[in-house]
Amino acid sequence: MNQQGTEIRELQTSDSPVSPKVNLTSKENRVITFFKDATPLDWEDWRWQLRNRIRTKDVLSKIITLTPEEEAGVDGCSDKLTMSIPPYFASLMDPEDPNCPIRKQSVPLAAELKESPHEMKDPCGEDANSPVHGLVHRYPDRVLFLVNEMCAMYCRYCTRSRMVGDGERTLNTATYEAAFDYIRSNKKIRDVLISGGDPLTLSDRVLEYIIKTLKAIAHVEFVRIGTRIPVTLPQRVTTELVTMFKKYSPIWMSIHFNHPKEVTKRVKFACDLLADSGIPMGSQTVLLKGINDKVSVMKKLMHELLKIRVRPYYIYQCDPILGSEHFRTPVSVGINIVEKLRGHTTGYAVPTFVIDGPGGGGKIPLSPNYVVSYEKGKATLRNYAGKIFTYYDPPQ
Ligand code: SF4
């Protein structure tokens, strides 16, 4: 285990309030100095990170040199999707390079204030498929349970920008109970995806109440959590949290990763804690122009994920949310990325490329076409290198 990881584990399991051994990286040390009286122990505390999220131009401009385009974005974003960046995630930003992939995902730009044709407020049609507040029921055997409206960092391309960041409400118990009742009374529901907002911004106590209640429903056989926190605020993954998860095993986790720069030692440590606790992890990646739309970047990300025991699962075409044009790529870019991964690297490193059918069509997989022709029981196929092969069906 790396030196940093060892130190964090000692801190989290120690009864002593202060570990003198906590070492921050040079980038973290640079950022913590902008927070008066903050200590390395504060930096390791996820609640301190949440309380001190960067939400104003004043604070942000101390950490990075803002461009006019970013200044206009920060000034105008509050009516749309507020800005929020944990100090840890801000420490990954290049202070001088506006093309830094971390910066482009988290700092608003003036471009997001412009709406383009075919963009929508609710591109996945979730509200139209919501039988009770907080639940989206699109497929017969599974539901999406949106348990809160707060995230650590507001991704500038967020599909749920219509609901997250707005007052950061947590649903009340009555709303949760109505959702549980709906799930209880629909015996076909075997799979619940807990998402939000980001569920890991909730306390362990509230999370346990949600998980425990779901696990007590006999027909719910599969519970998963969708989160970006292990990436934007890895301090949140504590021994206490994973110990609680372990009680309700199996719990699966889908983690939103977009760039290899996000896979830091802290993130590796968080994923080690999760994996060592028996939590299978898959990744979800949004394809974003100028951030991860190059084959080399995406391949590197997938390799880094395998190294931290996260199985690449989905690459999403960026949803046509209002103000997303500057993030969106042609569909062909995603297909080409998959083409350049499949056969060219480990199969485990090849996620499925999907588009959420705009307006509520659900996930539609897209793949390069390897079938040259298929007729009269004869399939002519090309392999990853372009060589042609023939497969004959058995007699029918
Ligand atoms: S973490 Fe997810 S829900 Fe939250 S802002 Fe990012 S994309 Fe949206």
pLDDT band at 172 (very low <50, low <70, confident <90, very high): confident
For residue 165, what pLDDT is reported? 81
Active site residue 160: yes
Single out the residue of 376, 358, 381, 377 nearest to residue 124, CA to CA.
358
For residue 4, what pLDDT is reported? 35
In this predicted structure, the answer to whether residue 9 has a pLDDT above a threshold of 80 is: no
- Choose, from 100, 124, 151, 318, the residue flagged as catalytic: 151
Structure-token pair, residue 363: 């996930």
Name the strand (E) or helix (H) holding 394: none
Give CA angle at 207 (204, 211), nearest 5°: 130
Name the strand (E) or helix (H) holding 60: helix 57-63
The ligand 1 atom nearest the CA atom of 286: 7
- Taking CA atoms only, the protein residue closest to ligand 1 atom 3 is 197
- Choose, from 77, 100, 124, 158, the residue flagged as catalytic: 158
Q: Are 108 and 77 in contact (CB under 8 A)?
A: yes
Proportion of the chain in helix, strand, coil states, percent, rounded to 5: 40, 20, 45
Single out the residue of 305, 287, 393 nearest to residue 348, CA to CA.
305
High-pLDDT (> 90) share of the chain, %: 91
The ligand 1 atom nearest the CA atom of 195: 3
Structure-token pair, residue 276: 């060592």
Q: Residue type at 48?
A: W
Q: Please, what is the average pLDDT of the chain?
A: 93
For residue 73, what pLDDT is reported? 97
Q: Residue 24 half-sphere exposure, CB side, CA atoms within 13 Å?
A: 21
Active site residue 205: no
In this predicted structure, the answer to whether residue 332 has a pLDDT above a threshold of 60 is: yes
In this predicted structure, the answer to whether residue 220 has a pLDDT above a threshold of 50 is: yes
Q: Are 293 and 340 in contact (CB under 8 A)?
A: no
Task: Tell me how far the alpha carbon of residue 360 lies from the centroid of ligand 1, in angstroms.
Answer: 18
pLDDT (average), residues 252-258: 98
> Helices 204-215 & 239-247, crossing angle to 10 degrees?
10
Separation of alpha carbons 295 and 135, rounded Å = 36
Q: What is the pTM of this model?
A: 0.93
Task: Tell me how far the alpha carbon of residue 141 lies from the centroid of ligand 1, in angstroms.
Answer: 24
Q: Which residues contact 122 (CB under 8 A, 6 or more apart)?
A: 128, 162
Cis before residue 230, ω within 30 degrees of 0? no
| Cβ atoms within 10 Å, residue 140 | 10
For residue 23, what pLDDT is reported? 84
Structure-token pair, residue 82: 């507020």
Q: Residue 380 half-sphere exposure, CB side, CA atoms within 13 Å?
A: 7
The ligand 1 atom nearest the CA atom of 196: 3
Which residue's entry shows tokens 């999707």?
81
Q: Residue type at 65?
A: T
pLDDT (average), residues 193-209: 96
Task: Tell me how far the alpha carbon of residue 151 lies from the centroid of ligand 1, in angstroms.
Answer: 6
Separation of alpha carbons 2 and 4, rounded Å = 5
pLDDT band at 169 (very low <50, low <70, confident <90, very high): low
pLDDT (average), residues 249-273: 97
Active site residue 155: yes
In this predicted structure, the answer to whether residue 166 has a pLDDT above a threshold of 90 is: no
| Cβ atoms within 10 Å, residue 356 | 20
Residues in the chain: 396
Q: Are 176 and 208 in contact (CB under 8 A)?
A: no
Active site residue 356: yes
Any residues with Cβ below 6 Å from ligand 1, and which? 151, 154-155, 158, 160, 164, 197-198, 228, 256
In this predicted structure, the answer to whether residue 285 has a pLDDT above a threshold of 90 is: yes
In this predicted structure, the answer to whether residue 19 has a pLDDT above a threshold of 90 is: no
In this predicted structure, the answer to whether residue 104 has a pLDDT above a threshold of 70 is: yes
Query: Going along 102-236, which residue ranges are E strands?
Result: 135-139, 142-146, 191-195, 222-227
In this predicted structure, the answer to whether residue 1 has a pLDDT above a threshold of 90 is: no
Instruction: Give 73 or 19, the one with higher predicted confidence.
Output: 73
Separation of alpha carbons 310 and 150, rounded Å = 24
Torsion angles phi and psi, residue 61, rounded to 5? -70, -15
High-pLDDT (> 70) share of the chain, %: 93
For residue 167, what pLDDT is reported? 59
For residue 80, what pLDDT is reported? 87
For residue 87, what pLDDT is reported? 98
The ligand 1 atom nearest the CA atom of 161: 8
In this predicted structure, the answer to whether residue 256 has a pLDDT above a threshold of 70 is: yes
Q: Which residues contact 203 (CB under 8 A, 6 or more apart)?
A: none
pLDDT (average), residues 76-82: 90
For residue 12, what pLDDT is reported? 37
Single out the residue of 247, 226, 208 nearest to residue 142, CA to CA.
226
In this predicted structure, the answer to whether residue 168 has a pLDDT above a threshold of 70 is: no
